[in-house]
Amino acid sequence: MHVLVTGANGTVGTALRDHLEAAITVDVTWLDIEPHPNGDVETLVGDVTDYATVRAAMEGVDVVVHLGMPDFLGGPDDRSLEWTAGFGASCQAISNVLEAARREDVDTVVYASSNHAVGMYEVDHAPDIYEPAFDLEIDHTAPPRPDSRYGVVKLFGEALGRLAADAHGVNVYPIRICSVRDPAYDHPYGDAEAGVEAGHFERESDAYDTQVARQQCMWQSRRDLAQQVACCLERGAKDDVDGEFEIFYGRSASDHAWFDLEHAREVIGYEPVDDATAWDGPPEA
């Protein structure tokens, strides 16, 4: 199976570099806007906002994992309604990938969507939503409620992916990724420890505890993310699967998360290895 991964040098892309080939036998082409910073992984350099570049990269590819997004869109706190060049470029990148996949007869596209596509549920209920007793579950049928323009762009990709599946027979699997972090913070205490290191708050503070409680609901380990992508690739490779569109939530196991995992278990057999609520402190240095 020949896989093209866009956005290969980002946090999610490097998680796949580190763990995907341990989860599934694949031949991977890594595409990014710049060479790999360590220079130890061969990277195809190109811009996903340029259709010709994407189309050329997709020749002979069976599956695409689309992670790449221009970094000038704005973050999850940007709730402006304004159309900007970054907003348009981000939508263009998604369109380029899906159109090139259709033209090159690519079987499957795994799309890095985001929890921010339904993030307003969290905004409405935080911080109570992080408590184990809070009664809310969001599954793949929940009405979209983006919390930002970033979330809106992710929903645009999901909608265009649905068209690619229904009208053109491409299998499209958006994963609404919750919280995947760089290796140093790849644990449910990662955001809290990063906040301490940045001087935002101290350990044994309410702010620290809130970050831990949130990540115990949201964290997806890097190896679990790679395993979930591998499950999507295996599903799309089945002979009887054609034009399938399924949304999954990307997180590790947890005793009190509000994002559903049952749909991913039932459809693609995703079973997390790591459990966010099994941790009682950060890893020792």
Helix, strand or coil for residue 236? helix
Q: Which pLDDT belongs to residue 106?
A: 96
Please report, to the nearest 10 degrees, the dihedral formed by the alpha carbons of residues 193, 226, 78, 138 taken in order. -100
Q: Whole-number mean pLDDT of the chain?
A: 94
Q: Is 254 exposed, middle or buried (0-12, 13-18, 19+ CB in 10 A)?
A: buried
Q: What band does 78 get if pLDDT is binned at 50, 70 and 90?
A: confident
> Mind listing the pLDDT tens digit for each residue in 230-243?
999 999 999 899 99
**pLDDT at residue 87, rounded to an integer:** 86
Q: Which pLDDT value is given to residue 57? A: 96
pLDDT digits (tens, 9 = 90+) for 169-224: 999 999 999 999 999 999 999 999 999 999 999 999 999 999 999 999 999 999 99
Residue 72 pLDDT grade (very low, low, confident, very high; cuts 50, 70, 90): low
Per the model's pLDDT, the better-predicted residue between 5 and 69 turns out to be 5
39: confidence class by pLDDT, cuts 50, 70, 90: low
The whole-number pLDDT of residue 274 equals 98
| Mean pLDDT, residues 131-135 taken together | 93
What are the strands of the beta sheet with 63-66, ordered from one edge? 44-45, 27-32, 2-6, 63-66, 108-114, 171-177, 248-250
Three-class SS of residue 133?
coil
Per residue in 137-151, pLDDT (tens digit) is 999 999 999 999 999
Residue 135 has a pLDDT of 93
CA–CA gap between residue 205 and residue 271 (Å, rounded): 33
Q: How confident is the model at residue 285 (pLDDT cuts 50, 70, 90)?
A: low
Q: Tell me how far apart the alpha carbons of residues 22 and 26 are, in angstroms, rounded to a whole number.
A: 9
User: Residue 68 has what pLDDT?
Assistant: 85
Q: What is the pLDDT of residue 35?
A: 86
pLDDT at 265 over 60: yes
What is the enclosing helix (H) or strand (E) of 66?
strand 63-66
Taking CA atoms, 154 is separated from 114, 130, 247, in Å, by 6, 24, 12
Helix, strand or coil, per DSSP, at residue 281:
coil
pLDDT at res. 97: 97
Q: Residue 29 forms beta bridges with which residues?
A: 4
Nearest residue to 153 via CA among 250, 210, 73, 40: 73
Terminal-residue alpha carbon distance, the chain: 39
Q: Give the C-alpha separation, 61 to 158, whole Å.
A: 21
> Over 70: is that where the pLDDT of 74 sits?
no
| pLDDT for residue 114 | 96
Domains of the chain: 2-129+136-183+221-276 (3.40.50.720)
